[in-house]
């Protein structure tokens, strides 16, 4: 019988359990997008997860969404990540870098550059900047000739990730960022080969995934998707058709996994499970919702055909989450005020469960 604690073979990796640490923005990087010794400790503390997926890592300066996030586009950034991957591996873990291009969800005050997107349509809401939240600016629409450059930025970041010691990468195709913007029917108003019908709207993500597979191998490449999600004001018409077509194309590439968020009805996600022949990771609670993923949610989705289950916020205050889930120990609450404040408080200060004598 398959359980959350049954081992799993993911490409070349032998995972000791099916618990995945989901990517979570923590804005603890140093100036220049560098990883820090605190980040090495943070991820190493959570190395009992079957797989760790890092916070979103920008593949270029223009791809940076939030201040304080790390990058993988300079030699200095690569060098800064090596102690992180070494620490995780020393503790017996496995770690993928999530490659995240923010697209229109950015601001010149953060990067010094005007954000880019598939079309000149601003995101809905305020974006984070070094001086606080500001209205999302109008992005510059990418010329057709530029689109390939941004698709290939994922592949170049993946090469650097492997050089930094990561076991693989996850392309961030969810939550209203650049890939999600191309999939969208209201953020993408293009009339060239990257916009309009489903076959065109999936083209950017397929090209980004194919370039990454060519760069580091299919067994090192996963992707996260949020079917039907409305983050930052994106909308998607024909959700089932869109994602069925996308998964058909991605299946030809033999990706290590697809990581789905709970942004569509259960029957839609189950249909996508049937459409995807490879490994499936499911995050079984609504992103940014009130509910935190628990053991019952995990067991439910394993029963529906998921291979791996990702946990986000539960990992913040519970570095020993796998053991707590295994033994039924209480899941400690996290202090939301420390999510994005920087520093080690609320980052490295959560202990493993203290057993009383």
pLDDT tens digits for range 37-47: 999 999 999 99
Mean pLDDT value across the chain = 96
CATH code: domain of residue 113 = 3.20.20.70
**Where does the pLDDT of residue 1 fall: very low under 50, low under 70, confident under 90, or very high at 90 and above?**
confident
**Model confidence, pTM:** 0.97
Pick the catalytic residue: 177, 194, 243, 257? 177
**Where does the pLDDT of residue 338 fall: very low under 50, low under 70, confident under 90, or very high at 90 and above?**
very high
Catalytic, 257? Answer no
- Residue 352: inside a domain: no
> In the prediction, which pLDDT does 51 show?
98
> In the prediction, which pLDDT does 4 show?
97
Cross-strand pairs, 30:
34
> In the prediction, which pLDDT does 114 show?
98
- Residue 324: inside a domain: yes
- Residue 289: inside a domain: yes
Choice between 97 and 354, residue whose per-residue pLDDT is larger: 97
Instruction: Please compute the mean of the pLDDT values over residues 184-192 and round it to a whole number.
Output: 98
> In the prediction, which pLDDT does 293 show?
81
**Where does the pLDDT of residue 2 fall: very low under 50, low under 70, confident under 90, or very high at 90 and above?**
confident
- Residue 354: inside a domain: no
The structural domain count of the chain equals: 1
Q: Which range (16-25, 252-261, 338-347) has the least confidence?
A: 338-347
> In the prediction, which pLDDT does 307 show?
98
Instruction: Please compute the mean of the pLDDT values over residues 50-55 and round it to a whole number.
Output: 98
Per-residue pLDDT tens for 128-171? Answer: 999 999 999 999 999 999 999 999 999 999 999 999 999 999 99
Per-residue pLDDT tens for 56-106? Answer: 999 999 999 999 999 999 999 999 999 999 999 999 999 999 999 999 999
- Residue 154: inside a domain: yes
- Residue 159: inside a domain: yes
> In the prediction, which pLDDT does 287 show?
72
- Can you tell me the distance from the alpha carbon of 276 to that of 281, in angstroms, rounded to the nearest whole number? 11
> In the prediction, which pLDDT does 286 show?
74
Is the pLDDT score of 357 beyond 60? no
Query: Domain of 270?
Result: 8-338
- Residue 300: inside a domain: yes
- Residue 224: inside a domain: yes
Is the pLDDT score of 356 beyond 70? no
Residue 181 token pair: 């913007």
């Amino acid at each position: 019988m398959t359980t959350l604690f049954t081992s799993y073979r993911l490409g070349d990796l032998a995972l000791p359990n099916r618990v995945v640490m989901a990517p979570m923005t923590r804005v603890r990087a140093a100036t220049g997008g560098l990883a820090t010794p605190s980040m090495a400790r943070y991820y190493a503390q959570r190395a009992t997860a079957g797989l760790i997926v890092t916070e979103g890592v920008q593949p270029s300066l223009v791809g940076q969404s939030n201040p304080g996030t790390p990058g993988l586009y300079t030699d200095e950034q690569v060098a800064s990540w090596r102690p992180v991957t070494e620490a995780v591996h020393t503790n017996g873990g496995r770690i993928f870098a999530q490659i995240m291009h923010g697209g229109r969800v950015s601001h010149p005050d953060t990067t010094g550059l005007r954000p880019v997107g598939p079309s000149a349509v601003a995101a809905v809401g305020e974006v984070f900047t070094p001086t606080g939240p500001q209205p999302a600016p109008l992005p510059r629409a990418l010329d057709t000739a530029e689109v390939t450059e941004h698709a290939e930025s994922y592949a170049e970041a993946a090469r650097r990730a492997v050089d930094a010691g990561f076991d693989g990468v996850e392309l961030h195709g969810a939550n209203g960022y650049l890939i999600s913007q191309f999939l969208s029917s209201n953020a993408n108003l293009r009339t060239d080969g990257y916009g309009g019908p489903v076959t065109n709207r999936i083209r950017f993500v397929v090209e980004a995934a194919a370039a990454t597979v060519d760069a580091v191998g299919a067994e090192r490449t996963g992707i996260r998707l949020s079917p039907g999600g409305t983050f930052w004001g994106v909308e998607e018409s024909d959700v089932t058709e869109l994602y069925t077509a996308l998964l058909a194309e991605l299946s030809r590439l033999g990706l290590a996994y697809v990581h789905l968020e709970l942004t569509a009805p259960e029957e839609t996600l189950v249909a996508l499970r049937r459409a995807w022949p490879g490994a499936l990771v499911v995050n079984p609670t609504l992103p940014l919702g009130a509910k935190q993923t628990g053991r019952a949610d995990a067991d439910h989705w394993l029963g529906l055909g998921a291979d791996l289950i990702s946990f986000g916020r539960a990992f913040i205050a519970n570095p020993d989450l796998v053991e707590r889930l295994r033994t039924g120990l209480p899941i400690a609450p996290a202090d939301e005020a420390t999510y994005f404040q920087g520093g080690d408080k609320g980052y490295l200060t959560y202990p493993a469960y203290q057993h009383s004598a």
